[in-house]
Amino acid sequence: MTGLIDSARRVLLVHAHPDDETLATGALIADLVARGVEVHVVTATRGERGELMPGVVDVEPGSEAFVAHREGELAKALSHLGVRHHCFLGMPPARDRAHRTSRRYRDSGMRWIREGLAGPAKDAPADAFTIVPLTEPVADLAAYVEATAPDVLVSYDAGGGYGHPDHVRTHEVTREVARAHGIPVIEVIPPDREVDGDAAAIEWTDGSTHLATVQAALRAHATQVRVDGTDVVHVGGQREPIVTRIGLRHRGADVADV
């Protein structure tokens, strides 16, 4: 798909919530799997603060039943994409051995600052992913990296794609682990979004041959999105084309954020 990861045999994608893996990188994942690459996905939170598409399922958003449903949706989506290796951050093997118990990092929530740009919610819980000290999720992701030895890490850019605080924190965690372990990082750049840093360094990939696979994976996330042809409609009503053109930027293991 791109010269940045052509030589990788094991790739770890780090995402913030269930559905992000498909919305942002579904076509990339499908292509990697088709080429025989061993794909791992770590999800930081369970999307507890996500809204609910009307009429999909009779559960209360934020409830344990809602969380369990989103976990099931993620498992189905990953199956459609061909991913066999998944873990939630804070759960073994993505849990630092110094801790005897598992940790659930909760969705921090967000608010819209303007169209297309999110910012922090005013009521993030104490155990939210963005509130917990950075060192703990870094140690947890490092544990997964040490257990699986990926050739490259893939996650968001410093702006988190569209500013969601959990996406930004996911970037920070991934960068710290990459620096500590000397592993290159590839940042995912959404189409038609503002880009921090050197836009010329982005390689744009065409994953349109995997559209049907991505559509099937998106349909698994029925509490959050609806597929309408080549568009995806979000729970808030926002409509956008299904992402098959993905920008990838190699940042190296020792490049500071812009």
- Confidence class for position 56, pLDDT limits 50, 70, 90: confident
All structural domains of the chain: 10-250 (3.40.50.10320)
Q: For CA atoms 26, 30, 33, 35, give the dihedral sign.
A: negative
Q: Quick: pLDDT tens for 162-171.
A: 889 999 999 9
At residue 143, φ and ψ (nearest 5 deg) are -65, -40
Distance CA 71, CA 78 (A): 11
pTM of the model: 0.94
Q: Quick: pLDDT tens for 169-223.
A: 999 999 999 999 999 999 999 887 666 666 778 999 999 999 999 999 999 999 9
Tokens of 186: 């590839």
Q: Is the pLDDT of residue 258 over 50?
A: no
Q: What pLDDT score was predicted for residue 257? A: 58
Q: What pLDDT score was predicted for residue 195? A: 63
Mean pLDDT of the chain: 92
Q: Quick: pLDDT tens for 135-159.
A: 999 999 999 999 999 999 999 999 9
Q: Give the mean pLDDT of 23-39.
A: 97
Q: At a CB cut-off of 8 Å and minimum separation 6, what does 123 contact?
A: 109
Judge contact between 90 and 104, C-beta under 8 A. Answer: yes
